[in-house]
Amino acid sequence: MSYLNFDHLIVQKEGKILVIKFYNPAKKNCLNRFAYQELTRALTEVNNDEEITIVVITGVGEYFTAGNELSLASQVPDFGALLKESNDIFKSMISSFINCTKLIFTLVNGPSIGIGTTIVGLSDVAWCAEEAHFLTPFSKLGLVPEACSSYTFPLIMGRSKATEMLLLNEKLSAQEAYHFNFVSRVFKLSELDSVVWPKIREYAELPPHSIKESKRLINVSLRENLIRANDEECAELLNRMYDDEFVQAMVKFLNRKSKL
């Protein structure tokens, strides 16, 4: 199976591992709707690749991803149409995480904001570098939780810490992420080639059908809740984007960006 024609992500097949890298150095690896479409395609196509056991998602450079590339909104004449289209694209991308039959392994190599943080909750395994931190500033932007985080965050880290992050915009350090079970290992960036990747390659050699069916069994009781969370969050996200709170937050954001 060929993984070609990706312009907004780096997608590479390395043995039994599909590596997806966020790469947008000018924007701290921010993701736009085109990157979301490519991520959806990669996570969908890999389901039919019998040679792949594990999908690894990581970033290139200092950042994992600084989240959604909001500045593109100012370049589109029909903002209402953009909101609807972007919401549909985003919902499909999250569905591709839910429907992916391969083991999704997230390596958070640096700061992770917004969608970079919420997809950690959708991953089967998540490790992060000591330099990483996690932030979901949704309420600051007049928005609501995304990517099923209204369900996954309380499930993983408890209601209080989830509320601190999703509603109160509190940052989670790498060590806190480990303490609250958001990641299962914290690694040194110097260990990527000597420890981290060799371990993942070792995992990739495990019997693939056993891994696939075991993941399915683990997710049986989660799947319905994830689908419902994605439906409800995306519906409310679209509502919020027409609200004055979001509009004013966007104006402030775009004005601040124009002065940089």
pLDDT one-digit tens code per residue, 145-198: 999 999 999 999 999 999 999 999 999 999 999 999 999 999 999 999 999 999
Report CA 179 to chain centroid distance, whole Å.
Answer: 20
| pLDDT exceeds 70 at position 250 | yes
C-alpha 59/C-alpha 176 separation (Å) is 21
Token pair for 209: 């059908």
Partners of residue 12 on adjacent β-strands:
19
C-alpha 107/C-alpha 123 separation (Å) is 10
| pLDDT exceeds 60 at position 260 | no
C-alpha 145/C-alpha 163 separation (Å) is 10
* Angle value at C-alpha 97, between 137 and 224, nearest 5 degrees: 95
pLDDT computed for residue 99 by the predictor: 98
Helix and strand totals (H; E) in the chain: 9, 9
Strands 172-173 and 133-135: antiparallel
Model confidence at 54, pLDDT cuts 50, 70, 90, reads very high
Share of the chain above pLDDT 70, in %: 93
- If you classify domain 9-190+205-259 with CATH, what class do you get? alpha beta
Of residues 10 and 253, more confidence is placed in 10
Model confidence at 77, pLDDT cuts 50, 70, 90, reads low
